[in-house]
Amino acid sequence: MLIDILKETGALLEGHFLLSSGKHSDGYVQCAKLLMYPDKAEKAIKLIVDKLKDIDFDIVVGPAMGGIIVSYELGRQTGKQSIFVEREDGEMKLRRGFTLEKGQRVLIAEDVVTTGKSSYEAIKVVEELGGEVVGIGCIVDRSSGNIKYPIYSGVKININTYEKEECTLCKQNIPIVKPGSRKIVEFL
Ligand SMILES: [Zn+2]
């Protein structure tokens, strides 16, 4: 099960977390911890590939940084090309001589999809160049179904986020942790 691999590699943490937005959550996903292990990453991304059997696409585009490795591995397993978009002056662009041809069918690659912000930025670049987005391939889908493109994911995970004042974990006096630090940052 992918969920077990995510837990054993530390890519999925459960508990009480202080997010950079100031919100609290009962879980945290950091796919880089899974991608540390190429063999496990290969298995996780194979689950996405299995769902893409009937999907016709020419090239995979991942938004930097999170999408690059996933895009590469999706390309490797499906025999397609893999490129990435990255920020220049705050805006997502194709750089390094990467191009798309009009009408090319594009799969967007992500590690995690939550709000879809970086996916939509990548999609905008692709569509402006005349590419046709067939969907988003991702390891973890946290979107709860609010993305307007088909999502092909390894696993769907529901993580609850709370405003500080409304956090049920705070009300239970569970110590809060800043993801990545593993240190308790405050007792509430
Ligand atoms: Zn809390």
Q: From ligand 1's centre to the CA of 28, what distance in Å?
A: 13
pLDDT for the residue numbered 18: 95
Instruction: Tell me the pLDDT tens digit for each residue of 125-180.
Output: 999 999 999 999 999 999 988 899 999 999 999 999 999 999 999 999 999 999 86
Q: Six-digit token pair at 48?
A: 């996405």
The pLDDT tens digits of the residues spanning 3-15 come to 999 999 999 999 9
Q: Are 127 and 94 in contact (CB under 8 A)?
A: no
Which token pair is 133? 């987005």
In this predicted structure, the answer to whether residue 79 has a pLDDT above a threshold of 90 is yes
Check: CB of residue 57 under 8 Å from CB of residue 71: no
Q: Give the Cα separation of 156 and 87 in Å (integer).
A: 28
The token pair that represents 175 in the structure block: 């110590």
Q: How many A from CA of 181 to the centre of ligand 1?
A: 17
Q: Give the tokens for residue 54.
A: 């009937």
Q: What's the CA-to-centroid distance between 110 and ligand 1, angstroms?
A: 28
This prediction has a pTM of 0.91
Torsion angle (degrees, nearest 10) of CA 118, 48, 75, 98: -10
What residues are paired with 62 via a beta bridge? 84
